[in-house]
């Protein structure tokens, strides 16, 4: 049993603590108590989040803002206080921990088992953005500075290529050439933002399907979770990352690249839910750029996986030495398919916007 459980105001005595979920960054556990109460316990990855107190202040502010706007208690997360009434605890090694109430009768899905579930996730993320539309941006810290600044991601990538710290460059020359060939596109959103053509909004910035909880029985979306990266961002990136992860016909680390493609039926379902719940918040340009957001997030994620592979897998958790390389290859295969299907994506978005 993790000793850190004694730092939180759990109802009852913890009797079971098991690893939970499939997150790539933080370490997550499910804690069961003799009272029947359950909690989600997480150790914050300090490599990814270098200012955990600021991160936790963000999360606390977001949850407090969402609570009175939620339609039910299960629509928002709830932090568990520490024994000294804090919002996080530290262990003897200096690691930061937090705990949430377990949302009863909920499930987390790695893959959409049909359009209905993906439509629900679109509703959830759109609703999340809509609820936060008036939240003051200035109150949020950038938990990962320049997180979706794809120009910055390329700068770091090219610097890593120049240094080749682990001598892995020769294994991924084709992937490097592909990334560099798409670099001009990577600057699109940052240039529009610089010119004032796009607004910064409070966005989730990690809109994977498994960051939405669903009702176990009805499969209706309940709650958006994993608030670590809620900070100022672009609405197209939230839309794009959800499609990148959830409408891919194959797994994020698929090694048979012939299986990797955009599922247009799932794209249509998510787009319908997303625009239905937050379409009124979007400008005409934001709506028009939603398909470009899918391409941008796929390209950015591929570059991030490739950079992490070259740097020695310091950010994303891996299951084998070539895992980040394989993830990168799958993202770039998806990007190629997105280029082929971009016109159809545009037609779907325009149709949902009328």
DSSP 88: -
* Sheet with 14-19, edge to edge strand ranges: 14-19, 27-33, 38-43, 96-101, 89-90
What tens-digit pLDDT sequence spans the chain (354 residues)? 579 999 999 999 999 999 987 666 788 999 999 999 999 999 999 888 999 999 999 999 999 999 999 999 999 999 999 999 999 999 999 999 999 999 999 999 999 989 999 999 999 999 999 999 999 999 999 999 999 999 999 999 999 999 999 999 999 999 999 999 999 999 999 999 999 999 999 999 999 999 999 999 999 999 999 999 999 999 999 999 999 999 999 999 999 999 999 999 999 999 999 999 998 999 999 999 999 999 999 999 999 999 999 999 988 889 999 999 999 999 999 999 999 999 999 999 999 754
Nearest to 221 by CA among 231, 209, 238, 239: 209
Q: What is the pLDDT of residue 24?
A: 62
Nearest to 66 by CA among 80, 55, 78: 78
Question: Are 275 and 352 a contacting pair, CB within 8 Å?
Answer: yes
Question: Are 17 and 29 a contacting pair, CB within 8 Å?
Answer: yes
Model confidence over 119-153: pLDDT tens digits? 999 999 999 999 999 999 999 999 999 999 999 99
Q: What is the pLDDT of residue 352?
A: 73
Burial of 256 (0-12, 13-18, 19+ CB in 10 A): exposed
Q: What is the pLDDT of residue 315?
A: 84
Which are the contacts of 97, defined by CB distance < 8 A and separation ≥ 6?
4, 7, 41, 42, 43, 44, 88, 89, 90, 91
Question: Are 101 and 78 a contacting pair, CB within 8 Å?
Answer: yes
Measured between its terminal Cα atoms, the distance across the chain in Å is 55
Tokens found for residue 40: 């989600």
Helix (H, G, I), strand (E, B) or coil at 16: strand
Q: Render the burial of 308-347: b for 16+ CB within 10 Å, e for the rest.
A: bbbbebebeebeeebbbbbbbbbbbbbbebbeebeeebee
All structural domains of the chain, each given as residue ranges with its CATH number in brackets, are 3-99 (3.30.200), 108-352 (3.90.1200.10)
Report the C-alpha gap between 336 and 99 in whole angstroms.
40
Report the C-alpha gap between 168 and 26 in whole angstroms.
26
pTM here is: 0.93
Report the C-alpha gap between 186 and 193 in whole angstroms.
13
Tokens found for residue 74: 């299960």
Report the C-alpha gap between 343 and 337 in whole angstroms.
12
Q: What is the pLDDT of residue 189?
A: 98
Q: What is the pLDDT of residue 23?
A: 64
Helices 290-311, 323-352: axis angle to 10 degrees equals 170
> DSSP E strands: which ranges in the chain?
14-19, 27-33, 38-43, 89-90, 96-101, 106-108, 201-203, 212-215, 221-224, 231-233
């Amino acid at each position: 049993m993790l000793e850190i459980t004694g730092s939180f105001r759990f109802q009852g005595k913890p009797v079971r603590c098991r690893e939970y979920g499939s997150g790539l960054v933080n370490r997550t556990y499910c804690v069961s108590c003799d009272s029947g109460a359950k909690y989600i316990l997480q150790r914050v990855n300090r490599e990814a989040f270098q200012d955990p107190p600021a991160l936790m202040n963000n999360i606390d502010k977001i949850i407090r803002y969402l609570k009175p706007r939620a339609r039910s208690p299960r629509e928002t997360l709830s932090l568990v206080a520490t024994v000294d009434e804090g919002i996080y605890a530290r262990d003897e090694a200096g690691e930061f921990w937090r705990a949430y109430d377990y949302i009863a009768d909920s499930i987390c899905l790695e893959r959409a088992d049909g359009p209905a579930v993906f439509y629900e996730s679109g509703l959830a993320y759109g609703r999340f953005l809509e609820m936060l539309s008036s939240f003051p941006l200035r109150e949020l810290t950038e938990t990962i500075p320049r997180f979706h600044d794809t120009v910055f991601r390329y700068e770091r990538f090219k610097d890593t290529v120049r240094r080749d710290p682990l001598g892995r460059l020769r294994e991924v020359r084709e992937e490097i050439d592909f990334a560099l060939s798409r670099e001009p596109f990577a600057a699109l959103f940052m240039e529009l933002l610089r010119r004032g053509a796009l607004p910064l909004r409070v966005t989730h910035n990690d809109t994977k399907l498994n960051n939405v909880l669903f009702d176990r029985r009805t499969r209706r979306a309940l709650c958006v979770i994993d608030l670590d990266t809620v900070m100022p961002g672009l609405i197209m990136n939230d839309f794009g990352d959800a499609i990148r992860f959830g409408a891919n016909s194959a797994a994020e680390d698929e090694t048979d690249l012939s299986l990797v493609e955009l599922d247009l039926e799932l794209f249509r379902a998510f787009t319908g839910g997303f625009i239905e719940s937050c379409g009124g918040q979007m400008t005409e340009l934001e709506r028009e750029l939603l398909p470009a957001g899918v391409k941008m997030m796929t390209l950015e994620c591929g570059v991030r996986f490739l950079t992490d592979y070259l740097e020695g897998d310091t950010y994303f958790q891996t299951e084998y030495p070539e895992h980040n390389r394989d993830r990168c290859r799958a993202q770039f295969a998806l990007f190629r398919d997105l280029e082929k299907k971009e016109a159809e994506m545009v037609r779907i978005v325009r149709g949902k916007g009328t």
